[in-house]
Amino acid sequence: MTDGAAQQVLRLGRHSFAPARRLVMGIVNRTPDSFYDRGATWDEDAAMARVHAVVAEGADILDIGGVAAAPGAPVEVAEEIRRTVPFVAAVRAAYPDLVISVDTWRHEVGREACLAGADLLNDTWGGQDRQLPAVAAEFGAGLICAHAGDQPPRTRPFRVAYDDVMADVLDRTLDQAARATAAGVDPARILIDAAHDFGKNTWQSLEVTRRLGEMVATGWPVLVSLSNKDFIGETLDAPPERRLTGTLATTAICAWLGARVFRVHQVRETRDVLAMVSAIQGEQPPARTVRGLA
């Protein structure tokens, strides 16, 4: 792990997580047009079945999203609320202790989600709505501060350039974290995210991966959302359904460099990768050891 500010306990919902604890955030999309699952959890019964599955596979956090990141038909605030908020309430009723995150950049959605039981607001589009931190503060919720450059929500990057992409990531995410703290969000509930693919081309996403230790060195807990992303697909020339190997390789590197939360589609496989990294780093023992001992 890169030298820098000491990592602190992360507090999400009712839970406190020590710095060595690596957390898996399972994705549940309440959209008909997700790039990866193509609407597989658009139906509420299918979405709840997905919740049960990822919890059984070891997800520490559930991230519920109601608007696909890619360009598409407009989704108004009321529709995003309809897609997500009743589902948040249903998940909270089924799993009283589970950490529930909602992927939204809109303060109106964040407020209704927190009223329904959400613990964490995942601001994937990097502070577009300046009122969102105040909502997190009001409800004692956590906030994920992500980097999207100058890219507006639901657009694709076009000829984006940075003098130093990691410097821009740090400037923007640290500014968001400072504004969140000033708004009253508990610093122990704030995470930062380089937001691979968002406002970045493949070269830039690879670079922020390689330099992730610079984010870790700030002391803020780092979340990575790598799962089946386009930068992996372009690197390997692979469609979304063949990006798992690249995702897991990138996950291992980010874990080694100090990332603490991993937003994923494949929970079980990610848990195995994180267990291996933790064991190699000496942070947790193997599940069983008999070889050469008897």
- Active-site residue numbers? 229, 263
The candidate with the shortest Cα–Cα distance to 157, out of 203, 92, 99, 104, is: 203
- Output the DSSP codes for the chain: --SSSPP--EEETTEEE-TT--EEEEEEE--S--TTTTTTT-SHHHHHHHHHHHHHTT-SEEEEESS-SSS-S---HHHHHHHHHHHHHHHHHH-TTSEEEEE-S-HHHHHHHHHHT--EEEETTSSSSTTHHHHHHHHT-EEEEE--TTPPTT----S---SSHHHHHHHHHHHHHHHHHHHT--GGGEEEE--TTTT--HHHHHHHHHTHHHHHTTSS-EEEE-TT-HHHHHHHT--GGG-HHHHHHHHHHHHHHT--EEEES-HHHHHHHHHHHHHHTTSS--S---TTT-
Q: Which amino acid is at 214?
A: E
